């Protein structure tokens, strides 16, 4: 397939680090015209970083980028665009208040002799473009109110009108319905016939086989494999995506599980998750695994009462929990350490002591006023237990490292004396040393009889820390795997929604 | 797992949709405002037939011309999610400065007077724009400070002084008193400027960029729009128009002092909001803003004619603004709901 010619776009041995975090170690990719190329990998494998290098959002620390065989560098997204690259993100970036035609032609509208915009010509061209894509949209329509799928179509039309010959689509199907996916596929196939090169990122393996001719698999920031899609099976893809040594820094405590602390029955939120049932016992860590968007965090938010549910019930230590009210959840003994601690878990400008005491202010009140001495005592106490590295408890939380911020959030919730701890992505964005300390803390808590529900996208963490692994796929629990039976292939297959027969072969 | 059938009809021909005139009329906020305006005039005239005399209509037009100009400048700024509170102070200082120039040079040509007012406005607009684009000061704070700084400097300079109509040349006063084809010259000037602004916002790339910036600043940057430059231009425009409005104010009222035009910035914001210029940016037209100013102007005169106490006049204005914004929000929400339903079923 045109392998004699140079690829339209090629990335060779690119790397990119942010501070000490290495997001991409060795990324390589070759895109030929007239092919749809799948880019696969677990969450955090470096796909997004690679896309941003291609799009000119980031610049690589090392490595080469070639367009039609010529070495190029993109200092900003405009340069990538001018070289014929277009990126379609999962959430399109459009002007909601302007028409489709204006969105496509912003900054380069056709003009008459005295500089006035020629709306008739612009609308005519956009109508023709939309019609060539086979979609029922009109150029004069406002973008506000268009579905995500239609907005993606507008982005594709914009790319075409810019004469882009490389389209990079970052998980375009994640938010689409079945019919919308069908329409997108027919558009992508039509583009392929026009000799465009298309990079298609997805988590759905059935889409890889339905659409792509070639695939590249990444793991831990490295390109590990590429092949023609026709030569692959779901098994072989999954085994290439996972398969690495388990790290050894998980101090998993062996605790005999006690009574049931958290019991969830048929929890359903329409369109988000359905019939989710499970139990967590005292002294047990249950991991909720799955891909981003499978509905894991949403389940946690629903249990805690932040989001409403359409059906189902939750019991804490045998007592029914009134859903929809976070205060009731806290009183019943539930604690939630959220995924995005900067936005949801901390008041960054406030001091460490103030943050740590936010959940228990009622206990610290003397004569109707908050006693800052008891606030500091509380913070110092938890700081010692969690080995918080902070010189001054009055310093703003925003000045701490990611790992120490996580400890403050943890301390804040442990101060409420919870029976069940739900922790969402406990080690996201913190360095290895801090990770080990978070794991140690979790192990200690479990030894003291805490019931922990851990949501995590990092497979080694899930396998290393959990007594049981619940895997979610598109809003349902697709597998319940005991620690002894767990391995990366089984979890990954369940997360990707592969059928059990294939799963048997993979194991 | 056969989610994707290979046989897909690739082309659905777009169905030609017939325009529904009535639906368009209801959807267009300008049309709604126009209906409200006619209803207001008709209702007031029904209660007090003397409302419809020429003098009243002339007064409404003259008052609205100045507020309408300021509202157009405010619209450009509000489209970009900004606000310019300093306009009233600019009107005040421009009116007094041009008046003093006439005292010093009684034979100054009118064109020079207008240029002087516009230059003063441009200068203050440049300060606002610099603070907001380079200083990254929120426009609310930046223009609130210039509002006070300019007004304070004005008081210090004028020191209780006053410019009287007797110091102004007749040719200048004719801007307000003279007329062409029955329309006062001042109104004609305003119409020309408003028309030019409308063409700029609708027909020129630069004008569309104001909308793009307010609609999605991030996408505007990705589309290669020079956001800082465009914001600066917006504040320069707003300042220049306020400077011109100051000159027209002097011509209309003859008597100006340090507190001239004090507090009208809120009337201007109110007119823009009633004229369905979104405070959140990206939505609004000069026609809408002008109709908003007209509606508020007619209500003011109508309340006077109906002998409503001045205190109630303000309360009624406030209620109108709340009503306008509530209606906007409700409409937006119902549109969003309809879209959701369409998605679920289609």
What's the predicted TM-score (pTM) here? Answer: 0.72
When pLDDT is averaged across residues B127-149 and rounded to a whole number, the result is: 94
Query: Tokens 């005999």 identify what position?
Result: A256
- Chain A CB contacts of B214 under 8 Å are 97
CB contact under 8 A, A93 and B219: yes
CB contact under 8 A, B219 and A134: no
C-alpha R_g of chain B: 23
Report the range out of A195-199, A430-434, B238-242 with the highest average pLDDT. B238-242
- Chain A CB contacts of B223 under 8 Å are 106-107
C-alpha R_g of chain A: 25
Q: What angle do CA B293, B84, B328 make, to 5 degrees?
A: 50
In a domain, B53, yes or no: no
In a domain, B239, yes or no: yes
- Chain B CB contacts of A145 under 8 Å are 335-336, 339
DSSP secondary structure of A124-165: HHHHHHHHHTT----TTSBSTT--HHHHHHHHHHHHHHTT--
Q: What's the DSSP call for residue A99? A: B
How high does pLDDT run on average in chain A? 83
Top residue of A79, A98, A175, A180 to mutate, by most chain B CBs within 10 Å, is A98
Domain count, chain B: 1
Residue B212 and residue B223 in contact, taking contact as beta carbons nearer than 8 Å: yes
Q: B317: distance to nearest CA of chain A, Å?
A: 28
pLDDT per position as a tens digit, A77-116? 878 888 889 888 877 789 999 999 999 998 888 999 998 9
ipTM: 0.81
Full domain range(s) for residue B191? 64-262
Rounded distance between C-alpha atoms, residue A437 and residue B210, angstroms: 51
Q: Which residue of A has its CA nearest to B212?
A: A95
pLDDT per position as a tens digit, B83-98? 999 999 999 999 999 9
Give all strands (DSSP E) within A270-405, no chain letters.
Answer: 273-281, 285-290, 311-316, 319-320, 334-337, 365-366, 369-370
How big is chain B, counted in residues?
A: 346
Q: Return the percentage of chain A with pLDDT > 90, whole number.
A: 19
Q: Where in chain A is the domain with CATH 3.40.50.300?
A: 9-94+146-243, 246-333+418-500
| Nearest CB partner across the interface for A182, out of B8, B212, B225 | B8
CB contact under 8 A, A98 and B218: no
In a domain, B28, yes or no: no
Q: Which residue of B has its CA nearest to A150?
A: B343
- CATH superfamily name and code, A246-333+418-500: P-loop containing nucleotide triphosphate hydrolases (3.40.50.300)
CB contact under 8 A, B12 and A145: no
Other beta carbons within 10 angstroms of residue B145's beta carbon come to 16
Q: What angle do CA A195, A201, A205 make, to 5 degrees?
A: 105
For residue B120, is pLDDT > 90? yes
For residue B337, is pLDDT > 70? no
Rounded distance between C-alpha atoms, residue B333 and residue B244, angstroms: 39
| Structure token pair of residue B150 | 């300019």
How high does pLDDT run on average in chain B? 84
In a domain, B322, yes or no: no
* Residue B37 binned pLDDT confidence (cut-offs 50, 70, 90): confident
Does the domain at residues A9-94+146-243 carry the CATH identifier 3.40.50.300? yes
CB contact under 8 A, A145 and B336: yes
When pLDDT is averaged across residues A227-247 and rounded to a whole number, the result is: 73
Q: Which residues of B touch A (CB under 8 A)?
A: 1, 3-5, 8, 10-15, 17, 199, 203-205, 208-209, 211-212, 214-216, 218-220, 222-225, 281-283, 335-336, 339, 343
| Structure token pair of residue A357 | 């005491």
Q: Which residue of B has its CA nearest to A130?
A: B14
When pLDDT is averaged across residues A334-353 and rounded to a whole number, the result is: 76
In a domain, B255, yes or no: yes
- Chain B CB contacts of A117 under 8 Å are 203-205, 208
Q: Return the percentage of chain B with pLDDT > 70, whole number.
A: 87
| Nearest CB partner across the interface for A106, out of B5, B14, B208 | B208
* Residue B59 binned pLDDT confidence (cut-offs 50, 70, 90): confident
In a domain, B29, yes or no: no
Q: Return the percentage of chain A with pLDDT > 70, whole number.
A: 89
For residue A247, is pLDDT > 50? no
Per-residue model confidence (pLDDT) at position A442? 85
| Structure token pair of residue B203 | 């027909």
pLDDT per position as a tens digit, A56-77? 888 899 888 999 888 888 888 8
Per-residue model confidence (pLDDT) at position A146? 85
Q: What angle do CA B330, B333, B335 make, to 5 degrees?
A: 110
In a domain, B317, yes or no: no
| Nearest CB partner across the interface for A98, out of B10, B14, B215 | B215
Per-residue model confidence (pLDDT) at position B200? 95
CB contact under 8 A, B1 and A96: no
In a domain, B155, yes or no: yes
When pLDDT is averaged across residues B189-195 and rounded to a whole number, the result is: 95
pLDDT per position as a tens digit, A38-47? 998 876 678 8
């Amino acid at each position: 397939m045109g392998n004699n010619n140079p690829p339209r776009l090629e990335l060779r041995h690119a790397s990119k680090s942010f501070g000490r975090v290495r997001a991409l170690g060795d990324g390589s990719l070759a895109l030929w015209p007239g092919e749809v190329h799948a880019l696969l990998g677990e969450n955090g494998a470096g796909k997004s970083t690679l896309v941003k290098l291609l799009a000119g959002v980031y610049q690589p620390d090392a490595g080469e980028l070639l367009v039609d065989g010529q070495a190029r560098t993109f200092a900003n997204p405009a340069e990538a665009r001018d070289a014929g690259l277009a990126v379609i993100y999962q959430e399109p970036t459009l002007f909601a208040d302007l028409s489709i035609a204006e969105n496509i032609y912003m900054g380069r509208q056709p003009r008459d002799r005295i500089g006035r915009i020629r709306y008739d010509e612009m609308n005519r061209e956009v109508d023709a473009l939309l019609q060539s894509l086979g979609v029922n949209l009109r150029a004069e329509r406002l973008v506000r109110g268009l579905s995500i799928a239609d907005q993606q179509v507008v982005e594709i039309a914009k790319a075409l009108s810019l004469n882009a010959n490389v389209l990079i689509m970052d998980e375009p199907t994640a938010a689409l319905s079945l019919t919308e996916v069908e329409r997108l596929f027919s558009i992508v196939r039509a583009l392929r016939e026009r000799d465009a090169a298309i990079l298609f990122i997805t988590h759905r393996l059935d889409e890889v086989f339905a659409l792509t001719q070639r695939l590249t698999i990444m793991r831990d920031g490295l390109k590990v494999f590429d092949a023609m899609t026709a030569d692959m099976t779901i098994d072989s893809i999954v085994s290439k995506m996972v398969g690495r040594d388990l790290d050894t820094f998980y101090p998993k405590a062996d605790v005999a599980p006690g009574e049931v602390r958290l019991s969830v029955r048929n929890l359903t939120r329409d369109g988000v998750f359905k019939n989710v049932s499970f139990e967590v016992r005292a002294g047990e860590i249950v991991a909720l695994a799955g891909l981003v968007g499978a509905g894991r965090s949403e389940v946690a938010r629903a249990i805690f009462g932040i989001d409403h549910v359409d059906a189902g019930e939750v019991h804490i230590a045998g007592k029914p929990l009134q859903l929809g009210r976070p205060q009731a959840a806290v009183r019943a003994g539930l604690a939630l350490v959220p995924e995005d601690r900067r936005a949801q878990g901390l008041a960054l400008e406030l001091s460490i002591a103030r943050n740590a005491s936010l959940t228990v202010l009622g206990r610290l009140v003397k004569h109707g006023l908050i006693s800052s001495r008891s606030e500091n005592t509380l913070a110092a106490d938890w700081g010692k237990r969690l080995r918080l590295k902070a010189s001054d408890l009055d310093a703003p939380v925003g000045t701490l490292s990611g790992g120490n911020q996580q400890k403050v959030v943890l301390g804040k919730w442990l101060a409420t004396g919870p029976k069940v701890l739900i922790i969402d992505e406990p080690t996201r964005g913190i360095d290895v040393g801090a990770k080990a300390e978070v794991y140690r803390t979790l192990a200690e808590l479990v030894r003291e009889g805490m019931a922990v529900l851990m949501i995590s996208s990092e497979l080694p963490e899930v396998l290393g820390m959990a007594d049981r692994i619940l895997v979610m796929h598109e809003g349902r629990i697709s597998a319940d795997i005991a620690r002894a039976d767990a391995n990366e292939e089984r979890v990954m297959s369940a997360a990707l929604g592969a059928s059990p027969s294939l799963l048997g072969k993979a194991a | 797992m056969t989610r994707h059938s290979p046989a897909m009809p690739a082309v659905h021909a777009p169905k030609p949709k017939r325009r529904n005139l009535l639906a368009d009329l209801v959807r267009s906020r300008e049309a709604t405002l126009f209906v409200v305006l006619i209803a207001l005039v008709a209702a007031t005239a029904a209660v007090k037939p003397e409302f419809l005399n020429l003098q009243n209509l002339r007064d409404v037009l003259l008052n609205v011309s100045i507020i309408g100009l300021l509202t157009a400048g405010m619209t450009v700024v509000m489209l970009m999610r900004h606000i310019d509170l300093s306009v009233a102070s600019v009107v005040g200082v421009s009116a007094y400065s041009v008046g003093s120039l006439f005292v010093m040079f009684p034979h100054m040509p009118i064109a020079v007077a207008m240029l002087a007012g516009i230059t003063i406005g441009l200068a203050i607009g440049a300060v606002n724009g610099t603070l907001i684009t380079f200083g990254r000061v929120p426009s609310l704070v930046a223009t609130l400070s210039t509002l006070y700084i300019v007004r304070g400097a004005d008081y210090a300079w004028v020191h209780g002084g006053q410019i009287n109509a007797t110091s102004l040349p007749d040719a200048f006063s004719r801007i307000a008193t003279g007329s062409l084809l029955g329309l006062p010259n001042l109104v004609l000037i305003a119409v020309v400027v408003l028309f030019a602004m409308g063409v700029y916002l609708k027909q020129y790339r630069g004008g569309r960029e104001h909308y793009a910036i307010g609609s999605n600043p991030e996408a505007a940057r990705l589309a290669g729009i020079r956001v800082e430059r465009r914001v600066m231009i917006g504040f320069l425009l707003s300042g220049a128009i306020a400077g011109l409005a100051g000159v027209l104010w002097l011509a209309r009222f003859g008597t100006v002092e340090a507190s001239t035009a004090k507090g009208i910035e809120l009337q201007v914001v109110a007119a823009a909001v009633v004229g369905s210029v979104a405070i959140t940016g990206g939505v609004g037209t000069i026609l809408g803003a002008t109709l908003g100013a007209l509606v508020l102007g007619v209500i003011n005169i109508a309340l006077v004619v109906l002998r409503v106490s001045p205190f109630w006049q303000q309360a009624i204005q406030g209620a109108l603004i709340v009503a306008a914004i509530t209606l906007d929000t409700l409409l937006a929400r119902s549109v969003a709901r309809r879209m959701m339903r369409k998605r679920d079923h289609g």
